[in-house]
Amino acid sequence: MNYIKLPLQFDTDRLTKDLTTIADREWHSHYNPHNYSGSWSVASLYAINGDKNFIYSVPNAERRYQPTEILERCSYFKEVLSKLECEKSSVRLMRLSSGSEIREHCDDGLDFEEGEVRLHIPITTNPDLEFYHCDDIVTMNAGECWYMNFTLRHKVINKGESDRVHIVMDCYVNDWLRDLFKEAGYIKSEKKTSSYEVRDEDIDHVITSLEEIDSETSRELIKKLKERKNQNK
């Protein structure tokens, strides 16, 4: 099972109220311009050393992620995160502006079976927002909480007239999360996936994303991707 809505529901009015406290200067353009067109920006709620200007998600970071000053002033965001009883690393607000597109790509290491998941809580969205997971369009409504296996290919196109903003949380799987997934009816995948198991036409995009991470794991995956690319020549 590659995506599922979890049995959690949050107050959209309170989510939106906290969102309005984020100043324009606190939004930063996403660090990988190859992966999108238009405007895709990030505001950090949990970041390394609590630095609100640090917008990266770094696997296996040696330094602990801490709340930023943005989160400290957003009482409902803090309440939402407290209801997720698991350890978190990166937590960010991610805004895709009207008319913008996140190009198809894969993300390393974000798979329930591998022990780390990325969860999405939409705050603002619109009916013309298309979120593709592989070949499926997944509709996520404001206030819901969704899991997707982001090691598989995905893309987002905002054809609507308003911005799409999600809380995006990277969480480590524990017994609480396992029970939550079980309650949602999650069925474990028979075959584990990794970000280098992608279509040939996606290889360059995935390599670019992994180069931004620059970890031991990402360098190993880049090596395998490049070997596969050379074999295909």
Give the count of beta carbons closer than 10 Å to the beta carbon of residue 211. 13
In Å, how far from its chain's centre is CA 13?
22
Q: Quick one: tokens of 46?
A: 């949990």
- pLDDT for position 195: 39
- pLDDT for position 216: 60
- pLDDT for position 193: 42
DSSP H stretches of helix in the chain = 12-19, 69-72, 75-82, 175-184, 203-213, 216-231
- pLDDT for position 34: 86
Give residue-wise pLDDT tens across range 3-33: 999 999 999 999 999 999 999 999 999 988 8
Comparing CA positions, the residue from 48, 119, 49, 108 lying closest to residue 84 is 119
- pLDDT for position 209: 64
Q: Which residues of the chain have pLDDT under 70?
A: 59-63, 189-199, 201-202, 205, 209-210, 212-218, 233
Q: β-strand 144-148 against 116-124: which pairing, if any?
A: antiparallel
Give residue-wise pLDDT tens across range 96-119: 999 999 999 998 888 999 899 999
Q: Residue 107 in contact with residue 88, Cβ under 8 Å?
A: no
- pLDDT for position 194: 41
Assign domain 3-189 to a CATH class.
mainly beta
